[in-house]
Amino acid sequence: MIVSQTQPNEFTLSTMINACTGLEDGRQGRKIHGYLIKLGYDLDLFSANALVDMYAKVGTLKDSVSVFNGIAKADIVSWNAVIAGCVLLESHDCALELFREMNKESGVSMYGEGVGVNQTTLSTVLKSIASLQASHICRQMHALSLKSGFEYNNYIVNGLVDAYGKCGQSEDASRVFKESQTSDLLAFTSMITVYSQDGQGEEALKLYLEMQSQGIKPDAFVYSSLFNACASLSAYEQAKQVHVQVLKLGFIIDIFAGNSLVNSYAKCGSIDDAERAFREIPERSIVSWSAMIGGMAQHGHGRLALQMFNEMLKEGVAPNHITLVSVLCACNHAGLVTDAKRYFSSMEELFSVQPMEEHYACMIDILGRAGKLDEAMELVNTMPYEANAAVWGALLGAARIHKNVDLGSKAAEMLINLEPEKSGTHILLANIYASAGMWDGVAKIRKVMKDSNVKKEPGMSWMEIKDKVHTFIVGDRSHPRGKEIYAKLEELSEPLRKAGYVPMVETDLHDVEEREKAKLLYHHSEKLAVAFGLIATPPGAPIRVKKNLRICLDCHTAIKLVSKIASREIIVRDINRFHHFRDGLCSCGDYW
């Protein structure tokens, strides 16, 4: 019997195209497309939609759009697929444009019923909104989701939480999340991520507990965000606990969570734990290396950071622009000016990374800190960028260290123009005036701050004991062990005085009486936190403190002496870097 060969029909072929998409075989997909045309099936809507999807995922956006444009009567799946293609290839404006066009056709069009939008459409478009950080459009999409009754769909909830979060609207994200009452893992992850990226580490950890109490099983995504929450809180014990849970759950730690863990331990003040975590990552990526090098830089271990960088190069890993910022940063914190110059001038040739604004800012900071103010200014004048706040900030810092009133006032003026709301500029300038004995200048700044209503941003410090984070604000007595803390400071005042500590009352800009001022200064948040550390941890244990601003000059001096008097290692993470106080000295070498 003769069996005639069966010709594939359009159903078979569209199924095969989907298979190619799944197998990421774009070449095969293209071949089948040829078949479809040859057999005259290319006008079949199912096949065309499959092609739009296939080209977007394993071909080119151009081909995807071209097939889409050839569809006579695109249905909602065609639109969703082509929009998803734009999102996938990060043509977010294109995605929004198509979405608008699609809406235009939502009414009664020349083909009759419009295609409308469904949950898939909104969920896809929300991703573009997140990437573009378009908060205005996000609000519109939210309204549209409510109008369409999609607010309880997990994809939509997750999309809205994510988009609001990326647009910097964490309160809206949190409202959507709470109202949805979802128990979806991805929505929880998005919300936890929003909190941790918004500096609300406590909220992130709380939500993680709630998630567990609901019996939702976490995965590696959740942990990478959680480690970031620990990093932002500088919560070392928390990071360790979460790390133990990851190990217990038997996750072979994935690269993202591993990188977050390295970063977290470094930011929590333990560079040794960070390095152990780093060594345990099976296949280290450029992010792992950058995190490790950046961590060492922040801790002031410049030479070690450079060694790490060389090790990375030996392993054949190419640095990116962030790695090189970290390398320069390492040179900066360790005062390695010559090395920095070498890396800066050869980075393009050796690593094909063109110096960006960040690299210039870093290099200017290095030169300025080292007292090479002329060289720094020359770089400012010759670089291909307009000097930004980072550059003027670096110059202001250099002017403070090297007591250069002219440069200081110039930089401060520029900075106040660029960032009028920040009080730190005024305070640094006051420091410069004070160190030059220009008290009328200090008084003038005090007046300017009062008149222009620039409030000194409240300094806060944190100290973690077991799994609790204790917060301190200047002069605050509400801590349960407040009495003991103040008694400890009182007890320290005599040995401090004997060791040469003189309160630097002059540069304090609080508008209060002189005597009141000395008291305030002595009860700065970082001093309270350190005193608490002394009474709440066993003798000899390191004390880890985090501050939301730069550590103040007076506290820096005092804590150096306390480290000697109390024989304690004291680690303070301020907004810029770590200060390791030991035996009367600080790892920053007093340049920060």
Partner DNA sequence: GTAGGGTTAG
In which region does residue 403 sit, left (phi positive, over 0), alpha (psi from -120 to 50) or beta (all else)?
A: left
Q: DSSP readout, 113-125?
A: S-----HHHHHHH
Among the listed ranges 60-68, 223-231, 431-439, 477-485, the one in contact with DNA (CB under 7 A) is 223-231
Among 67, 230, 329, 553, binds DNA (CB under 7 A): 329
3-state secondary structure string, 354-422? CCCHHHHHHHHHHHHHCCCHHHHHHHHHHCCCCCCHHHHHHHHHHHHHCCCHHHHHHHHHHHHHHCCCC
Would you say 148 or 409 has its CB closer to DNA? 148
Would you say 358 or 413 has its CB closer to DNA? 358
Helix (H, G, I), strand (E, B) or coil at 436: coil
Among the listed ranges 26-34, 282-290, 479-487, 543-551, the one in contact with DNA (CB under 7 A) is 282-290
Site for DNA in 369-428 (CB under 7 A): 390
Nearest approach in angstroms of CB 240 to DNA is 18
What is the contact mask toward DNA in residues 45 to 84, using x (rule: CB under 7 A)?
Answer: xx--xx--x---------------------xxxx-xx--x
Nearest approach in angstroms of CB 383 to DNA is 14
Site for DNA in 162-191 (CB under 7 A): 162, 184-187, 189-190
Q: How far is CA 259 from the centre of its chain?
A: 13
Q: Does 223 bind DNA (CB under 7 A)?
A: yes
DSSP tag of 506: G
CA distance 372 to 364: 9
Nearest approach in angstroms of CB 286 to DNA is 6
Q: Does 128 bind DNA (CB under 7 A)?
A: no
Q: Does 193 bind DNA (CB under 7 A)?
A: yes
Site for DNA in 254-273 (CB under 7 A): 254-257, 259-260, 263
Would you say 187 or 334 has its CB closer to DNA? 187
Query: In which order are the strands placed within the sheet that holds 585-586?
Result: 468-473, 460-465, 543-547, 570-573, 578-582, 585-586
Would you say 228 or 270 has its CB closer to DNA? 228
- Torsion angle in degrees (nearest 10) through CA of 349, 354, 357, 358: -70
Token pair belonging to 270: 């333990």
Q: Does 525 bind DNA (CB under 7 A)?
A: no
Token pair belonging to 29: 């997909």
Q: Does 87 bind DNA (CB under 7 A)?
A: yes
CA distance 232 to 249: 24
Would you say 261 or 445 has its CB closer to DNA? 261
Site for DNA in 444-463 (CB under 7 A): none
Token pair belonging to 264: 């977290």
The footprint of DNA on this chain (CB under 7 A) covers a number of residues equal to: 78
Give me the helix-helix angle, 482-498 and 553-565, nearest 10°: 90
Among the listed ranges 192-200, 411-419, 426-434, 464-472, the one in contact with DNA (CB under 7 A) is 192-200
Would you say 81 or 167 has its CB closer to DNA? 81
Q: Does 591 bind DNA (CB under 7 A)?
A: no
Q: Does 200 bind DNA (CB under 7 A)?
A: no
Nearest approach in angstroms of CB 4 to DNA is 29
Nearest approach in angstroms of CB 184 to DNA is 4
First to last CA, the chain: 90
Rounded (5°) CA angle 471-551-365: 140
Would you say 527 or 579 has its CB closer to DNA? 579
CA distance 336 to 579: 18
Nearest approach in angstroms of CB 386 to DNA is 14
Q: DSSP readout, 1-21?
A: -PPPPPPP-HHHHHHHHHHHH
What is the contact mask toward DNA in residues 293 to 322, using x (rule: CB under 7 A)?
Answer: -x--xx---------------------xxx
